[in-house]
Amino acid sequence: MTPSILEERIASLRRNLMRANAASEQQLEFAHITVGEEPWIRAFNEIRRNSAKDLKMLEALVAEVADGNIDPGQAWQSYSDIECLSEEVFRECLEVLGGLVFRDMRLDEKICLFADELIKECAKSVGKMPTIVIPSPDRVPPVDMRRIAHIRFPEWDVWTLPLVAHEYGRVAIVETEQANEFATETAHEAYLGLAGGRAVTPEAVEQRVRLLLADAFATFTNGPAYACALMLLRLDMVAPSPASRELVRQRADMVRGVIDALDTRGMIKAQIHQELASCWDQAIESLPPDDAEEADPLGALALEPADVFSALEQAFYPGAAYTPAHWSNAMRWGSDWLEQLDKGQNPARPADVLKTHRLRDALNASWYVRIQRPEWATEGAAVTQELCQEIIDGRGRGGQGHVRGESRPPGGG
C-alpha cells in the first residue's frame, strides 16, 4: 500500500530525531578541546533527553494513525506540534556541534575561553553549574532553560564579553528557587497591572520580566562593565519597531537602576555612570517620537530596580554581588593605566593581581579607562586580554587548573 504524505512526514521526522539522538551520544574527539566534562555533558544530555521525548510522542502518533483512532486533521496538527518541538532540538544540536568545531579551530581569539571563565565565576558565586559558550553568527534569542551562552560573530572581544552574563542570568534565575519564584510572582503582578490596557498575554509579560531580570542579574554580578557593554555596544537605538525601542529603554533603565542600588558610596556614579547616563540620554533625545497608535503594549510594564536588586541579594549568595570595594579595585587599576597613558607609556598589567581577583575586575577597570579615553578601545582590548589571562593563570598556580591560552570548554585538557 502506498504510504500517505503524513506517514512519509512522520517517518522522515523520526529518522531526523534519531540522528540528533545518536549525534549526542557519539564520543567526539577534537584536537584542542575535551567534551567529556561538565557542562558539555549536560548540553548533550539535554539534546538526547529532548529528542527521546519527541520520539516517544511521535511513536504514540504513529500508533494512533495505524489504529485509525485519530481524525486526519488532528493527526496533522499533532505532527505539526511535534515537528515544531523537534526544530528546537535540531537547532541546539547543530549549535553545539558547530560551536565545538569552531572552537577547536581556535578562530575566536580566546574570547570563548574568557567567556567560559566569566560564566564559571558567576556560577560559582551563585552556587550553580556553568553553561557552555559557543560562537553565534547573529542574534540568537536566549531561552531560559537552555544551558548555552552565545558570543556573537564578528563582535567578539573583551568589550562585549560581559554580555554573556545576561544569558547565564536567565538560567541562574530559573534554577534558583527563590529567584524563580520572584520572577513568576513579579510577572503575574505585572500582567494584572496591564490587563486593563492593550491586549497582552501572561506569557509575553513573563518573557519580558525575565529578560529584564537577566539584565539585572548581569549588572548585579558584573557591575558597570555589563551596563557599558549593553548600553554602548548592544542595545539597538534605532530598533525597527516602537515595541523594540521600548524594550531598549526598559533594559537601559533596569541596568542603570541596579547600578544606583549597588553604588552605596556613590563612587560609580561619580567616576563612570554619570557620563554613561548622559551619553545615553542624549542619544535617546535625538530619536524621533513614536506614534502613540503603535506603542508597545508592554511599555507600561515597570519594575523597580531597587526592589529587583533586593530580591537578587536575598536569592543569591552574599559573595555574588558586585560591590563598591570591587569598584575601588577596578578604579585603582584603571587610574594607573590612565596615568601611564598620560605619560606616553604602554599600560602595564597591575602588579597586585591576586588569586581572588576575577575577570570582572579586569573588565571594569578597562571600561573605566575606555569611558574616559574612547580611542583606547583597540589597545585596551589587548591589555585587558593579557590581564584576564594573568587572572586565569593565577588560579592555575593556586591549584585550580591552569588554562594554557587556548579556546576550550571548562575542564578541557
For residues 230 and 307, membership in a common domain is answered with yes
The residue from 320, 342, 360 where one domain ends is 320
For residues 311 and 334, membership in a common domain is answered with no
Residue 153 covered by a domain: no
The residue from 57, 80, 105 where one domain ends is 105
For residues 298 and 249, membership in a common domain is answered with yes
Helix (H) or strand (E) run with residue 148 in it: strand 148-152
At 413 the pLDDT is 31
Residue 217 covered by a domain: yes
Residue 137 covered by a domain: no
At 408 the pLDDT is 33
**Residue whose C-alpha cell is 508597545:** 296
For residues 206 and 303, membership in a common domain is answered with yes
Residue 135 covered by a domain: no
For residues 268 and 380, membership in a common domain is answered with no
Longest CA span, the chain: 85
Other CB atoms closer than 10 Å to residue 178's CB: what's the count?
13
For residues 79 and 46, membership in a common domain is answered with yes
Residue 85's domain comprises 5-105
For residues 297 and 375, membership in a common domain is answered with no
Helix (H) or strand (E) run with residue 295 in it: none
At 120 the pLDDT is 92
For residues 337 and 260, membership in a common domain is answered with no
At 379 the pLDDT is 94
For residues 347 and 260, membership in a common domain is answered with no
Residue 366 covered by a domain: yes
At 260 the pLDDT is 95
At 285 the pLDDT is 78
pLDDT profile of the chain (413 residues), mean per 10 = 75 90 70 66 83 93 89 91 90 79 68 89 90 68 60 76 93 95 96 76 94 98 96 81 84 96 93 84 75 72 95 93 96 97 94 94 97 93 95 71 35 36
DSSP for 267-291 reads: HHIIIIIHHHHHHHHHHHHTSPPPP
The dihedrals phi and psi of 405, each to the nearest 5 degrees, come to: 75, 15
Residue 124 covered by a domain: no
At 322 the pLDDT is 97
For residues 185 and 293, membership in a common domain is answered with yes
pTM of the full structure: 0.79
For residues 225 and 343, membership in a common domain is answered with no
The residue from 73, 105, 137 where one domain ends is 105
Q: How many domains does the chain have?
A: 3
Q: Are 410 and 37 in contact (CB under 8 A)?
A: yes
DSSP for 3-56 reads: PPHHHHHHHHHHHHHHHHHHHTTS----SS---SSTTHHHHHHHHHHHHHHHHH
**Residue whose C-alpha cell is 522522515:** 12
What is the distance between the alpha carbons of residues 300 and 314, in angstroms, rounded to a whole number?
A: 27
At 400 the pLDDT is 37
